[in-house]
Amino acid sequence: MTLVAAASNGAMAVGAFRPASLARRALADAFTSNGPASIWLTDSAGQPLYQIGASSSESELANHAGIAEALRGENGVTYRRIDGSEHVVAYSSIPPVGWALVIEEPWDAVDSPLLRTSLVAPLALIPPFLIAIIVIAFGVRRIVRPLQQLDHQATRVGWGDYDALAQPVDGIAEIQQLHATLAHMAEQIRRYQRSIQSYAAALTRGQEDERSRLARELHDETVQALIALDQRVQMIERTCARDPQAAAQKLPELRTLAANTIEDVRRIIRALRPVYLEDLGLSPALEALTKTIGDEGGLLATFEVEGQTQRLPLERELALYRIVQEALNNVVRHAHAKQVQVKVAYDGALVVSVTDDGVGFDAPDRADALTDLGHFGLVSMRERAELIGAHLTIQSARGSGTTIDLRLPL
């Protein structure tokens, strides 16, 4: 075959080669002579150009399966039986030279690699399968079962059995850490529940004590004063019939006794409901409260206001008033103080502070510890502050007095 190529400058290149030589070299590189396959390459006339494997004469080659089809330009696969074994014959035409290429191979040689692969594949899958089983078993033992146990314990805690988390849980480190966290939370909830129960019991006792105090005060003072008033009225009635002038002289004493009784009733009402708070506002009510408690407790009580005063919603003012009232009562009952100062400041926030020079106490670092130590008044103050969105801080130490600060954003 000759190839001629012309260049634009008039030059010309001419080359010649034998396609059969190239084909034989390519087939020799691709197939070995000792393999099971037989290969024939023929020209357009059916003459053999190259063959590997079983040799055939020209007449046998012309009648070989696939030769005629490939010479007609066809491509395909056919089968034939030789000595009881089935052979696969693949044929293909080679344009543009019009040659025929036929490859024949026993069927066993074709399907053996696939069969071996299909037999070996399950064996190759055994190690991954065993690894998967081991991983699943590890997950069930170290993850699933501990999580189920932890879920069961958490359910028991939800029903109030806080000792359920005392039993250790196996598993990976993360699950053990989760168990420790849940146990810590359960212990905090139990302490908080005990604190609430103690606080509720203290509130109940406080209510009953207050009712008893009111009952005693009404009986010992108000009722007795009313009885005395009634007796004076009866005496005046009897005197009036025989000596009107003497009866008239007893009327001022009667008016004085009635006025004292009215003042006692008003004092009790003020203790129950601060009238100054509704009429004048928080600062005047706190000033009056400070003076009253200072006089009753024998303290040097001072009151100070900074900034421009302003009214707040009544429920907030009442909560602040009760907090300061409880703080001052604590000073009178427990602090053994000589003086106390109440300071109110308006500066973007309402800041109320109560400071005394009493004996002080060791302030705990946890809110629930206040209940454990019996400081129910402080617990009540903290609860009232939280209800109105205020922040309460307690600073105290033995021998250094106590300062209670209350900060309410405005």
Model pLDDT, residue 372: 63
Calculate mean pLDDT across residues 188-211. 70
CB 165 within 8 Å of CB 182: yes
> How far is the C-alpha of 323 from the C-alpha of 332, rounded, in Å?
14
Domain map (residue ranges) of the chain:
2-110, 277-410
Q: Which of 119-133, 232-246, 317-331 has the lowest mean pLDDT?
A: 119-133
Collapsing DSSP to helix, strand or coil, 346 comes out as: strand
* Number of neighbours of residue 125 by Cβ within 10 angstroms: 11
Domains 2-110 and 277-410 share a fold: no
Domain at 277-410: CATH architecture: 2-Layer Sandwich (3.30)
Q: How far is it between the farthest Cα atoms of the chain? A: 175
Q: Which residue has the higher pLDDT, 53 or 394?
A: 394
Q: How confident is the model at residue 203 (pLDDT cuts 50, 70, 90)?
A: low
Q: What amino acid occupies position 123?
A: L
Which residue would you say has higher pLDDT here, 213 or 227?
227
Q: Give the CATH architecture of domain 2-110.
A: 2-Layer Sandwich (3.30)
Query: What's the rounded Cα separation, in Å, for the pair 285 and 197?
Result: 33
Of 23, 38, 25, which is closest to residue 104 (Cα–Cα)? 38
Predicted confidence (pLDDT) at residue 202 exceeds the cutoff of 70: no
* In contact, 106 and 84? CB cutoff 8 Å: no
pLDDT of 7: 74
